[in-house]
Amino acid sequence: MSKDKLVIFDTTLRDGEQSPGASMDKEEKLEIAQQLEKMRVDVIEAGFAVASPGDFEAVKLVADTIKDSTICSLSRAVAKDIEVAGDALKGANSGRIHTFIATSPLHMKHKLQMEPNDVIEQAVKSVKLARSLCDDVEFSCEDAGRSELDFMCRIIEQVIDAGARTINIPDTVGYNMPDQYANTIQQLIERIPNSDKAIFSVHCHNDLGLAVANSLAAVQKGARQVECTINGLGERAGNASLEEVVMAIKTRPDYFNVDVDIDTRHIVPTSQLVSKVTEFAVQPNKAIVGDNAFAHESGIHQDGVLKNRETYEIMRAEDVGWANNRMVLGKHSGRNAFKSHLAGLGIQFDNNDDLKQAFVAFKELADRKHDILDEDLLSLVKR
Ligand SMILES: CC(=O)SCCNC(=O)CCNC(=O)[C@H](O)C(C)(C)COP(=O)(O)OP(=O)(O)OC[C@H]1O[C@@H](n2cnc3c(N)ncnc32)[C@H](O)[C@@H]1OP(=O)(O)O
Ligand SMILES: CC(C)C(=O)C(=O)O
């Protein structure tokens, strides 16, 4: 049986850009969008067109240039925002207006200062306006993670009737636990009478480090779009990371009953581009795209990987865009990796005693020095 497609919606250029210090100009956004298109991302949220003249120009440039991915602009449930988003998207091959309004009691009372029924009315009006400008409309219940299920059922049923074709359920403040969030998605799909007319989407924040876990749990309960960002960039602690979501699905086809179209070989180059443009370094131990994600320094691991990579690697470095996996010689390394590395430098040992002696000298050096370079090894062997 063929698997359902999971839509990958990248919001690096919108929610990612909301990280303090990560703002991008239109040329930078276009360069990243081109890389995302190459990777075969389904939807690229290029910005929030009404936010500034520069962001309008950026969304417009991306919409006018990118042909293979759908280009999206965010907008509040406010007529002007929606009209400006529609204007910016006019040149798109495939455009999407994404409109949102908060649905949690806290946000409605204190931030919007609106009655719940008025929130529903404004949402419906906004979706209708967006549909008059664009066939593809997404609606988000902001702070869905702290919203009441009955109220979300009411508003979502009505926005679907008004023409929204993607319904996004953001855990805006990263408050939910995986089973709780997945249960919300399942309940919404089961209880909303017209839920079959829309794709349910998830958008998770990482305040408790659960953004990817929550997104994947929701996929198991029927979500068919995941909103995510490269390197997990995003407001506060960030969003679900695209590379982690995609590689979880690719690596565990036995577990997930969905598939993604992403060409994963572009993941590392895209991560490096986003890091260069935003000047946000990627931590070395970051899954998939960190420098150490496919590096081994411990002797037992190195020995295993030399015999069979699968002993300590669940993915191939080459499949996500690294040139290869890496063996790093250091204080935890063992004789097998040491010997194999020196063989790569053209050095063979005549007998076991020579190897033993060189290895003892290497361990002494590794206790003193952080990074062992090939020059260090060569001079050590000469001695
Ligand atoms: C969870 C998220 O990531 S939501 C997206 C967050 N991203 C951004 O805010 C980035 C872009 N934002 C901006 O450039 C500006 O905030 C703008 C242009 C949207 C609005 O700017 P301003 O008009 O100066 O309003 P300001 O930002 O101070 O306040 C927001 C106003 O929008 C209202 N509002 C907030 N969300 C919504 C919504 N989804 N629909 C309708 N109104 C909303 C607030 O209640 C507030 O209204 P008030 O001015 O009557 O009190
Ligand atoms: C506007 C929505 C999609 C959002 O970014 C959030 O709630 O975090």
Integer Cα distance of 340 and 336 in angstroms: 6
Integer Cα distance of 299 and 94 in angstroms: 52
Number of residues assigned to the chain: 383
Are the C-beta atoms of residues 6 and 259 closer than 8 Å to each other?
yes
Give the pLDDT confidence of 212-253 residue by residue, as tens digits: 999 999 999 999 999 999 999 999 999 999 999 999 999 999
| pLDDT at residue 1 in the model | 74
Give the pLDDT confidence of 38-97 residue by residue, as tens digits: 999 999 999 999 999 999 999 999 999 999 999 999 999 999 999 999 999 999 999 999
CA 48 to chain centre: 19
Distinct helix (H) and strand (E) counts, the chain: 14, 12
Mean pLDDT of 270-280: 98
CB distance 203 to ligand 2 below 6 Å = yes
CA 83 to centroid of ligand 1, rounded, Å: 15
Atom of ligand 1 nearest to the CA of 101: 39
| pLDDT at residue 383 in the model | 79
The proportion of the chain whose per-residue pLDDT surpasses 90, expressed as a percent, equals 97
Region at 226 (left for phi over 0; alpha for psi -120 to 50; beta for the rest): beta
Q: Does the complex come out with an ipTM higher than 0.95?
A: yes
Classify burial at 252, counting beta carbons within 10 Å of its beta carbon; exposed 0-12, middle 13-18, buried 19 or more.
exposed
Residue 139, strand partner residues: 99, 167
The reply to whether CATH 3.30.365.10 applies to domain 4-278 is no
Mean pLDDT of 350-364: 93
| pLDDT at residue 237 in the model | 98
Predicted confidence band of residue 2 (pLDDT cuts 50, 70, 90): confident
Ligand 1 binding residues, C-beta < 6 A: 15, 18, 48, 50-51, 76-78, 100-101, 111-112, 142, 172, 235
| pLDDT at residue 345 in the model | 95
CA 99 to centroid of ligand 1, rounded, Å: 12
Ligand nearest, relative to CA of residue 204: 2
Average of per-residue pLDDT values in the chain: 97
CA 285 to centroid of ligand 1, rounded, Å: 36
**Phi and psi (nearest 5°) for 119?**
-65, -45
Give the burial string for 332-347 (b: 16+ CB within 10 Å, else e): bbbbbbbbebbeeeee
| pLDDT at residue 91 in the model | 98
| pLDDT at residue 259 in the model | 98
Are the C-beta atoms of residues 69 and 263 closer than 8 Å to each other?
no
| pLDDT at residue 202 in the model | 99
Q: What six digits make up the tokens of 162? A: 């008004």
CA dihedral 262, 264, 266, 268 (to 10 degrees): 130
What's the predicted TM-score (pTM) here?
0.97
Write the DSSP symbol of residue 369: -
Integer Cα distance of 103 and 144 in angstroms: 6
The three-point CA angle 21-55-263 to 5° equals: 80
Q: What six digits make up the tokens of 27? A: 């040329």
Write the DSSP symbol of residue 312: T
CA 61 to chain centre: 23
Are the C-beta atoms of residues 337 and 360 closer than 8 Å to each other?
no
Are the C-beta atoms of residues 365 and 372 closer than 8 Å to each other?
yes
Integer Cα distance of 44 and 180 in angstroms: 28
Domain boundaries, the chain: 4-278, 295-382
| pLDDT at residue 156 in the model | 99
CA 102 to centroid of ligand 1, rounded, Å: 11
Give the pLDDT confidence of 135-168 residue by residue, as tens digits: 999 999 999 999 999 999 999 999 999 999 999 9
Beta-carbon neighbour count of residue 316 at 10 Å?
A: 15
Are the C-beta atoms of residues 186 and 222 closer than 8 Å to each other?
yes
Residue 83, strand partner residues: none
**CATH T-level topology, domain 295-382:** Recoverin; domain 1 (1.10.238)
Are the C-beta atoms of residues 19 and 280 closer than 8 Å to each other?
yes
- Alpha carbon separation from 193 to 44, 140, 221, 225, 343 (Å, rounded): 29, 18, 17, 20, 67
- Alpha carbon separation from 368 to 144, 343, 361, 372 (Å, rounded): 53, 24, 11, 10
| pLDDT at residue 350 in the model | 87
CB distance 14 to ligand 2 below 6 Å = no
Instruction: Name the more confident of 229 and 381.
Output: 229
Q: Which helix (H) or strand (E) holds 100?
A: strand 95-102
Ligand nearest, relative to CA of residue 229: 2
